[in-house]
A and B are shown apart, each in its own frame.
Chain A
Amino acid sequence: FPVAPETEDEGKTLQLVESYLRNFYDLQRDHHPHLRSTGENQLVEKLKEMQAFFGLKVTGKPDLETLGMMKKPRCGVPDIGQYV
């Protein structure tokens, strides 16, 4: 069956959020998204960290403003931690 557009968008959104947090906020690659408890917690925490950094509302949810910021062209150096 054709995938319903919303779920497809959701998939893309999650992909954007995960790759952004992995690139710039040290989200561990194997954060076990399928283990809803730990994986989700870490993603939410990282999302909150990113929202706090950019002065966005800290919701832990990929709201419009957060996604808008993630889509902005930017520097490839992470916002936290070292870049060696």
Chain B
Amino acid sequence: FTAGNPKWKKNNLTYRILNYTPKMRQADVDEAIQKALRVWSNVTPLTFQKVEDKEADIMISFAYRDHRDNSPFDGPNGQLAHAFQPGEGIGGDVHLDEEEAWTKDGRGYNLFIVIAHELGHSLGLSHSSDPGALMYPAYSYTDPSEFLLPQDDIDGIQAIYGQSDAAVQPTGPVTPQACDPNLTFDAITTLRGEIMFFKGRYMLRKHPERAETELNFISLFWPNLPSGIQAAYENVERDEVLLFKEGKYWLLRGYDIAPGYPKPIYRLGFPKTVKRVNAAYSDETTGKTYFFIADRYWRYDENKRSMDHGYPRKIASDFGKIGRVDAAFQKDGYVYFFHGTTQFQFDPRAKRIVRQMKSISWFNC
């Protein structure tokens, strides 16, 4: 919250777009602003009405260097925009640095994301220390089509203006905490000696030499990858990682997504009845990759680049009581299966589970 808890005394606010950046089509600017306003009106009783030729509560403009508000912009990068807390005159106004590369996608700086953040200030919110929050001070790109207002921001704005009038109260994603005992994973893979744990739009990154776990948006490294990766595995020999979501998969060569991806998973030999992959790991000694889907698994020969015959088989019959597999990876000869908050360490030589741990055991909690 902003010191002094400033808020608008009314719910029906007005906004005006004073000028446009030449870097985007006007229609795209209008759309970005309307979408940004809906981020806040969807979770509060607030409404926003566009006005043209009079003073509005929220005046939105693109400004250049010193624009006479005692807060000069600093050219490309650095400070992207700022906005003023609710109040008369400049109160509520949003200023965007004209020298930034404004876009409507992942290139440069996404106008929708930045304006949605600044409108949070216009409504009385200050910065959040939650790295996943919209009100976190540093810019991070999220695909606007996948954007959901995080719970941290919903809690903040509703503490000021109350809940929305919607019958069903909207909720938002919560930022994963590495030492949360209830943490589960969508997918896990090794990547050049590190371990990547995928969760929603996040990736928890664990380097064997570092005690801390790093939390990043998937989009920070791979803007073209969707959130919600469902399975992943590393082919260590080829220095490749495959990432799966629904009927498609992407290929990372080193750290970069290879051109020509995503491809349909059926290219790997899955039957059309298979709609998605839950988990996967690759055994670099045998060159066999195991795909887990519901209660069955397939085995793929990386050298022949085709599925082995005689599959699918029941997971329980060959891996024991590990249930459905959310995520899996192999490290130092053992396979680690994740089911909810439980993790099983499986010895493929002895063909049995040798240990059961918590899902967060890798994070030095």
Which residues of A are interface residues toward B (Cβ below 8 A)? 23-24, 53-55, 69, 72-77, 79, 81-84
Q: Which of A24, A72, A76, A83 has the most CB of B within 10 A?
A: A76
| Closest B residue, CB atoms, query A19 | B74
A76 touches B81 (CB 8 A): yes
Known: A75-B137, A76-B73. A83 touches B84 (CB 8 A): yes
| Closest A residue, CB atoms, query B83 | A77
Q: Which of B84, B118, B127, B129 contacts A84 (CB 8 A)?
A: B84
A74 touches B138 (CB 8 A): yes
Q: List 23 A-B contacts (CB under 8 A).
A: A23-B79, A24-B137, A55-B131, A73-B77, A73-B79, A73-B80, A73-B109, A74-B139, A75-B79, A75-B121, A76-B71, A76-B80, A76-B97, A77-B82, A77-B83, A77-B121, A79-B137, A81-B3, A82-B3, A82-B4, A83-B83, A83-B85, A84-B87
B137 touches A73 (CB 8 A): no
B139 touches A82 (CB 8 A): no
A75 touches B80 (CB 8 A): yes
Which residues of B are interface residues toward A (Cβ below 8 A)? 2-4, 71, 73, 77-85, 87, 91, 97, 109, 114, 117-118, 121, 126-127, 129, 131, 137-139
Provide the bound-state CA to CA distance between A72 and B80, in Å: 10
A72 touches B139 (CB 8 A): yes
Provide the bound-state CA to CA distance between A72 and B73, in Å: 15
What residues on A are CB-neighbors of B79 within 8 Å?
A: 23, 73-76
B138 touches A72 (CB 8 A): yes
Provide the bound-state CA to CA distance between A76 and B96, in Å: 10
Provide the bound-state CA to CA distance between A82 and B127, in Å: 11
A83 touches B138 (CB 8 A): no
Q: How far, in Å, is A13 (CB) from chain B's closest CB? A: 16
Q: How far, in Å, is A77 (CB) from chain B's closest CB? A: 5
What residues on B are CB-neighbors of A79 within 8 Å?
A: 126-127, 137
Q: Which of B126, B129, B138, B139 contacts A77 (CB 8 A)?
A: B126
B87 touches A74 (CB 8 A): no
Q: How far, in Å, is B264 (CB) from chain A's closest CB? A: 36
Q: How far, in Å, is B215 (CB) from chain A's closest CB? A: 9
| Closest A residue, CB atoms, query B96 | A76
**Inter-chain pairs besides A55-B131, A76-B97, A82-B4, 10 sampled, C-beta below 8 Å:** A73-B138, A74-B78, A74-B79, A75-B79, A75-B80, A75-B114, A76-B71, A82-B85, A83-B121, A84-B85
Provide the bound-state CA to CA distance between A23 and B83, in Å: 14
Q: Which of B78, B83, B85, B138 contacts A69 (CB 8 A)?
A: B138
